[in-house]
Structure 1
């Protein structure tokens, strides 16, 4: 990814990216985003941006596979995360959802994935060890819990669904405390200009509102200019 674009995306929250995609597409209706309220381990940190590396797991019951097969699957998972083109995000679906009980994302696994060079983790599953997670590796998760249960990897590389959002390995993901979006590849060349246009149009309405109004007429005029700027 272009380093300039990556820096720009990391400087925008996820709602801004949603809006900018619509600006780039020239229409409303973009819907490749998560639904529902998610948990952000580090809400004050910048958003995570990267190409998805997908996996699935379970934790409510032990794996029925032999121990050596379980370990081999786990090592295949770690190798996929380590070898993924960067920037990348671990996108892991907990198949126990919505009754997830096992926290895969704790101090150990977040530290491992950060060492592998990943930018963060997105999951519908459980996060724990809040306060002990490494800086610079945000986790956007479905819930908080204390135990790892019988957590084990079920698949690596298959498409996953996180809070209604289907994500495939290689998809460009942007996520923060608001949730996540998949950025369509066809809009990537236009994103920088779209973000600039979006910020410019928002300034048209935000600046006079923040300065204070003396009449409703001032608002009407500001809104007229705001609507015109978005054409």
Structure 2
């Protein structure tokens, strides 16, 4: 399914918890998966939500790749070529395979600028990031941790299925992320999310509005919940 610019704007106008709520209506079978279930640290919480097509890869950093230097360079170039191809905007999902994820960081000043230049809006990784003040402006980072060194960081594989803090994704998936975390949005459901979010907002407004009125009580809450449930 092809998404329009208007579809992207509609999704970007929502925060990630709202998208998760909407997906519970649109695709209820995904209620327990498709989002991170372990904490991700958002490095730039003031940035707006990002929505893009997933580019996936895996890295290690705790030991050398044991490849020849020219083979390491070739793999890095293969990664950059992959990032540059396919639909945009993109969001990078890079899984750290080390037993201690984040031992060394792939992400810092150089790679944030390179990936932003190749059309990526940000990165989501269970590994680490660094160079916080110098990273590309507007490039979002959700990571497992912050570390100072890149150690022996190297690309292991490109375009493979990944699992980031409990969230599984494949190359080409659509993802929504902000300061709260990330969620994979099924492409065939993406156009329905904004409408479902509006419905939920109308229902919630009844309860919130009642709670702000003088004399709010359990009885009034029960009535507000009944009125909310009647909104379709």
Q: Same fold (TM over 0.5)?
A: yes
Equivalent in 185, 193, 218 of residue 216 of structure 1: 218
Residue 134 of structure 1, CA deviation: 2.2
- Which is further off, 138-147 or 188-197? 188-197
Query: Which structure 2 residues correspond to residues 9-28 of structure 1 after superposition, within 5 A?
Result: 9-25=11-27
CA distance in 2, matches of 1:177, 1:31: 19
The residue aligned with 1:188 is 190
Aligned equivalent of 1:84: 86
1:60 equivalenced with 2:69 (yes/no): no
Deviates more, 1:57-66 or 1:94-103: 94-103
Could you tell me how far apart the structure 2 residues matched to 1:37 and 1:157 are?
A: 24
Kindly provide the CA deviation profile for residues 187-231 of structure 1, in whole angstroms up to 9, marking residues without a partner as x. Answer: 1232222122122112121222244544332222212212333x6
Match of 1:159 in 2: 161
1:1-231 maps to which residues of 2 (within 5 A)?
1-25=3-27, 29-229=31-231
- TM-score, length of structure 1 as denominator length: 0.93
Give the whole-Å Cα distance in 1 for the aligned partners of 2:216 and 2:168.
48
Moved more, 49-58 or 80-89: 80-89
- Label 1:170 to 1:101 Cα distance change in 2 as closer, same or farther (>3 A): same
What is the rounded CA distance, in whole Å, between the counterparts of 1:93 and 1:28 in structure 2?
22
Root-mean-square deviation over aligned CA pairs: 1.7
Cα separation, partners in 2 of 1:151 and 1:12, compared to 1, 3 Å: same
CA shift digits 1:18-74 (9 cap, x unpaired): 110112136773421111111101111111111101111110011101001000000
Over 3 Å counting, the alpha-carbon distance change for 1:77 and 1:178 in structure 2 is same
**Partner-residue secondary structure (3-state), 1:208:** helix
Question: Is the contact made by 1:18 and 1:30 (CA closer than 8 Å) also made in structure 2?
Answer: no
Gaps of 5+ in 1: none
Contact 1:40–1:177 (Cα < 8 Å) also in 2: yes
| Mean Cα deviation higher: 148-157 or 90-99 | 90-99
**Cα 1:224/1:87, change in 2 over 3 Å:** same
